[in-house]
């Protein structure tokens, strides 16, 4: 059932994508804000409570609904519920409008508008970026967005669905990613006081959840791209980025496409691009900004098309593998 759920969700999203400012994002923001307001009193252990309420409660509710539908009501209703959950959590159109608009602006030669769109998308000051660096940032953020909105959700859904938990994995991944991003950027931009432990713990937990999906995404890029260069880049250049999961994805993609990525302003930094504290096993450490870049050609407009092709080939690869697994399960 997982294969058809993913397939139908992707098709539905292509036919009728969610608008840029949609009720789902507003609902998620309200839920995360409510959890923080009601369960966070500033103590270290409250960070874990808020995160559990934010992420695990929706995932558990989805698993319970899926179980009731498939066991007591109808398999088709369970499939429809999974498709709905994936439609809201998985898909290119949740970020591709920015990519498309930036690409069209660059094709018109309107670099100022492209910078404005990138700044709006990623909350970065890109007003002084030269064209090559602008392209690099677009490629990096697009690759990471493709992973977080498509591949990460896909992998978690498939694993949890195989355990009979339906869309719980997709929802847990999306909520963990959103919570990490919300407490890092949203509250800071709105001037809301945030428990730093909550911010750091959310980032750490998402990094833990994303550990395996990030590597599967990088492996997929390697298979459908230049395998040798992608694997070499994975091993050699992943450390150029401050977050290991991001580094693996971007280094593998850079090798697969043959484009130069990385640099002093790597993606994932705070809006002012300053070093920030990381939370690892309950210990805070300061990390310097990543520097250096991968080998390859400097980013050009044509590389945007290459990245799109890389992502779509990887989607087809994983869908084919999932279909083969389902077929083997049926025949076995």
**∠ CA(263), CA(265), CA(266), 5° rounding?**
75
Strongest mean pLDDT among 17-26, 185-194, 214-223, 271-280: 214-223
**Cα–Cα distance for residue pair 250/141, rounded to 1 Å:** 9
Q: What share of the chain is helix, strand, coil (3-state, %, to 5)?
A: 75, 5, 25
Residue-wise pLDDT tens digits, 64-88: 999 999 999 999 999 999 999 999 9
> Is the whole-model pTM more than 0.75?
yes
**What pLDDT is stored for residue 265 in this prediction?**
55
* 3-class secondary structure, 292: coil
- Lowest mean pLDDT segment, chosen from 104-118, 198-212, 248-262, 264-278: 264-278
114: its two tokens: 């492209």
Q: Give the whole-number percent of the chain exceeding pLDDT 70.
A: 88
- Domain containing 135: what range? 2-331
DSSP letter at 279 equals: E
**What pLDDT is stored for residue 251 in this prediction?**
94
Mean pLDDT, rounded, of the chain: 84
Q: Is the pLDDT of residue 162 over 50?
A: yes
Residue-wise pLDDT tens digits, 118-134: 888 877 777 777 888 88
**Cα–Cα distance for residue pair 290/296, rounded to 1 Å:** 18
Domains identified in the chain, total number: 1
**What pLDDT is stored for residue 16 in this prediction?**
86
Higher pLDDT, 187 or 89: 89
Strands 277-280 and 283-286, sheet pairing: antiparallel
Q: Is the pLDDT of residue 302 over 80?
A: yes
């Amino acid at each position: 059932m997982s294969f058809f759920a993913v397939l139908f969700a992707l098709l539905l999203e292509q036919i009728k994508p969610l608008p840029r400012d949609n009720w789902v994002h507003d609902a998620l923001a309200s839920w995360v804000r409510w959890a923080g307001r009601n369960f966070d009193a500033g103590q270290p252990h409250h960070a874990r409570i808020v995160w559990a309420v934010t992420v695990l409660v929706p995932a558990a509710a989805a698993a319970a609904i899926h179980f009731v539908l498939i066991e007591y009501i109808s398999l088709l209703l369970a499939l429809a519920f999974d498709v709905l959950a994936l439609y809201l959590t998985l898909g290119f159109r949740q970020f591709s409008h920015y990519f498309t608009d930036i690409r069209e602006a660059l094709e018109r030669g309107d670099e100022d508008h492209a910078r404005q769109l990138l700044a709006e998308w990623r909350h970065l000051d890109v007003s002084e970026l030269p064209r090559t660096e602008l392209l690099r940032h677009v490629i990096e953020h697009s690759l990471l967005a493709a992973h977080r909105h498509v591949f990460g959700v896909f992998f978690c859904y498939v694993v949890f669905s195989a355990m009979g938990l339906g869309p719980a994995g997709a929802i847990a991944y999306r909520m963990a990613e959103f919570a990490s991003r919300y407490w890092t950027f949203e509250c800071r931009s709105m001037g809301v006081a945030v428990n730093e432990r909550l911010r750091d713990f959310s980032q750490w937990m998402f990094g833990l959840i994303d550990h395996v999906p990030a590597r599967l995404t990088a492996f997929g890029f390697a298979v459908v791209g230049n395998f040798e260069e992608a694997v070499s880049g994975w091993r050699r250049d992943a450390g150029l980025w401050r977050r290991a999961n991001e580094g693996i994805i971007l280094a593998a993609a850079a090798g697969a496409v043959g484009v130069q990525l990385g640099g002093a302003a790597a993606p994932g930094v705070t809006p002012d691009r300053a070093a920030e504290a990381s939370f690892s096993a309950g210990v805070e450490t300061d990390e310097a900004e990543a520097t250096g870049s991968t080998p390859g050609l400097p980013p050009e407009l044509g590389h945007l098309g290459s990245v799109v092709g890389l992502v779509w080939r990887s989607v087809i690869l994983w869908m084919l593998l999932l279909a083969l697994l389902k077929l083997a399960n049926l025949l076995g």
